């Protein structure tokens, strides 16, 4: 069972950049995206680790279904942006995720996001996450693959 595949789940509200990040960082492709319906599933490798990349398409009433995917996931990448309209919903989604998923979570604040709001609203009891702020199209964020390699 060496090299068994690890599963990375991409979660977040609509239009936060899940598909763009998945293709650019893990598959080296810049693609013009359309809203994801259902799931996107791709495969990649980081060094010797074989990985499944799974984006869970999201609709406003599907957040309560996310936890069904947690038990199959080895790591979650959660995308958010400062452009999200309902901030309270966002903080509650993040805190729920951090309470329920016990492995590592990478929170990516995309589209040049400011981290402060999110950091202030994360419940201080959580420590199973790491936060970066970026712009997928303007920055080289390939270094997150190193973090993932050591945390998956």
In the complex, the residues that contact Mg ion under the rule CB under 5 A are 18-19, 36
Q: Is 20 in the site for ligand GTP (CB under 6 A)?
A: yes
Rg (C-alpha) for the chain, rounded Å, is 14
Between 19 and 133, CB nearer to Mg ion: 19
Partner from ligand GTP, Mg ion, none binding residue 30, C-beta < 5-8 Å depending on class: none
Partner from Mg ion, ligand GTP, none binding residue 113, C-beta < 5-8 Å depending on class: none
Between 16 and 74, CB nearer to Mg ion: 16
Across 59-81, b (16+ Cβ under 10 Å) vs e yields eeeebeebeebeeebbbbbbbbb
Q: Which two tokens stand for residue 141?
A: 């964020």
Partner from ligand GTP, Mg ion, none binding residue 24, C-beta < 5-8 Å depending on class: none
Quick check: 110 and 21 in contact, CB under 8 A? yes
Between 48 and 138, CB nearer to ligand GTP: 138
């Amino acid at each position: 069972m060496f090299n068994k595949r690890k599963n990375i789940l991409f979660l977040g509200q609509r239009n936060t950049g899940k598909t763009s990040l998945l293709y650019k960082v893990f598959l080296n492709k810049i693609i013009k995206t359309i809203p994801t319906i259902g799931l996107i599933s791709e495969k990649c490798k980081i060094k010797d680790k074989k990985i499944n990349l799974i984006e869970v398409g999201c609709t406003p009433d599907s957040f309560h279904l996310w936890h069904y995917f947690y038990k199959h996931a080895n790591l979650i990448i959660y995308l958010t942006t400062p452009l999200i309209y309902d901030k309270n919903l966002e903080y509650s989604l993040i805190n729920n995720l951090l309470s329920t998923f016990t492995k590592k979570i990478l929170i990516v604040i995309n589209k040049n996001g400011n981290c402060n709001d999110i950091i202030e609203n994360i419940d201080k009891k959580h420590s199973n996450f790491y936060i970066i702020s970026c712009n997928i199209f303007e920055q080289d964020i390939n270094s997150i693959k190193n973090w993932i390699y050591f945390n998956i």
